[in-house]
Amino acid sequence: MLKIKVSNLKPGAKLGKDLYSYDSQLLLPRGTVVTDEHLNSLAARNISEVYINETTARPRSEKPFPEVYQHSLHVVRSFMLEAKLGKPLEMEEIVQTTDILFNQVFDENDLFRQMRLMKDKDDYLFTHSVNVAMLSILIGRWLKCDEKTIKELGTAGLLHDLGKVFIKDEILNKPGKLTEDEFNEIKKHPKIGYQLAIENPEVNYDIANAILLHHERADGSGYPMGNKGYNAHFHAAVVAVADVYDAITSTRSYSTRSSPYVAAEILWQESFGRLDPRITKVFYDKIANFYIGNEVLLSNNEVGVVIFVDPAQPTRPIVRVQDKFYNLLLERNIQIIEIID
């Protein structure tokens, strides 16, 4: 048995002893498998330590986030540049990187904060691939997938835009709208990446399909196939949502970055007929917990603090600006445009 701090407790750990409140009420019996909801209620009750079965304790990655991020970035940069030089894909380092990310990505509050700090500091294609890998792992955890599936999602995220190294930089980084010919060039990247990936027998069917199908949309407006209907490939559907989310929240050469609130609203709109609502919904629901207490910049240029999030309308919280309260549910013309760290 192991005594650990609640701040280090992870969902999936099994309680080794009955857990009592300060007024001696039984809160959770021995053997309870800890869930996210339990973690929230323990924090709310100021419970600081619990006993768990050692075998169920998932150790938090020891490495600091920037180190893990830089390492992942380095790995993505090398496999992409080597692919460009015509070298076959080597999976060993990529799979190891996924394992490291798997052990890093548990807590969305931490991940989103860290990702905001890391963004915009490096080449978009590489940071985007790392971000999509981490977001895909996070979505896999939210959907309670098994470990193998979550790791495949991470690897698929790292590899999903591999084909883009063969698209000319002037098209990839073009500020402003693409011409039809340029967009047709961009549309080639899923197939190019897929072809490269399947040459390696270690890349399984689900990962390869995520590379090929991450731009398909249910209304048939996607590419390369333009298939109608929700993506039958789970991995591709997850990577598609992670991909859209990261694109919206990153500064791109042709757009400015939007806050996670705006991103969640766009994702929600995209759910109707385009992205898979089973996956966008989990994103939308989770955003309720993201930023309570965070300082935010509103579209009317005022700075306030998020003080209440209605789970039914998570992207429209109540924001306090000094002694005023904005209920964004009612004030539809005001948006949160930036989270301030």
| 265 binds Fe ion per the rule CB under 5 A | no
Q: How far is the CB of 263 from Fe ion (least distance, A)?
A: 14
Q: How far is the CB of 96 from Fe ion (least distance, A)?
A: 22
Q: How far is the CB of 173 from Fe ion (least distance, A)?
A: 14
Q: Which of residues 277-316 bind Fe ion (CB under 5 A)?
A: none
Residues 6+ apart with CB under 8 A from 235: 149, 152, 153, 156, 206, 207, 209, 210
Give 19 or 75: the residue with its C-beta nearer to Fe ion: 75
Q: How far is the CB of 163 from Fe ion (least distance, A)?
A: 8
**Both ends of the chain: CA-CA distance in Å?**
38
Q: How far is the CB of 186 from Fe ion (least distance, A)?
A: 8
Give 161 or 270: the residue with its C-beta nearer to Fe ion: 161
Give 216 or 243: the residue with its C-beta nearer to Fe ion: 243
Give 165 or 296: the residue with its C-beta nearer to Fe ion: 165
- Distance, in Å, from the CA atom of 168 to the CA atom of 238, rounded to the nearest integer, reads 27
- In contact, 189 and 158? CB cutoff 8 Å: no
Nearest to 27 by CA among 11, 13, 16, 38: 38
Q: Which of residues 94-113 bind Fe ion (CB under 5 A)?
A: none
Give 10 or 164: the residue with its C-beta nearer to Fe ion: 164
Identify the residue whose tokens are 């301030």.
Answer: 340
Q: Residue 296's beta-bridge partner residues?
A: 304, 339
Q: Phi/psi class of residue 103: alpha, beta or left (left: φ > 0; alpha: ψ in -120 to 50)?
A: alpha
DSSP state of 55: G
- Neighbour-count burial of 299, counting CB atoms closer than 10 A to its CB (0-12 exposed, 13-18 middle, 19+ buried): middle
Give 114 or 129: the residue with its C-beta nearer to Fe ion: 129
Q: How far is the CB of 209 from Fe ion (least distance, A)?
A: 13
| 161 binds Fe ion per the rule CB under 5 A | yes
Q: How far is the CB of 51 from Fe ion (least distance, A)?
A: 43
Q: How far is the CB of 260 from Fe ion (least distance, A)?
A: 17
Give 152 or 243: the residue with its C-beta nearer to Fe ion: 243
- CA angle 336/337/341 to nearest 5° reads 95
Give 91 or 210: the residue with its C-beta nearer to Fe ion: 210
Identify the residue whose tokens are 């400015």.
Answer: 256
**Site for Fe ion (CB under 5 A): how many residues?**
2
Strands, E assignment, 248-302? 295-298
Q: Which of residues 198-257 bind Fe ion (CB under 5 A)?
A: 243
CA distances from 73 to 122, 124, 127, 225 (A): 9, 11, 6, 30
Give 152 or 161: the residue with its C-beta nearer to Fe ion: 161
Q: How far is the CB of 54 from Fe ion (least distance, A)?
A: 40
- Distance, in Å, from the CA atom of 267 to the CA atom of 302, rounded to the nearest integer, reads 25
- Distance, in Å, from the CA atom of 253 to the CA atom of 5, rounded to the nearest integer, reads 43
- Distance, in Å, from the CA atom of 149 to the CA atom of 17, rounded to the nearest integer, reads 31
Footprint of Fe ion on this chain (CB under 5 A)? Answer: 161, 243
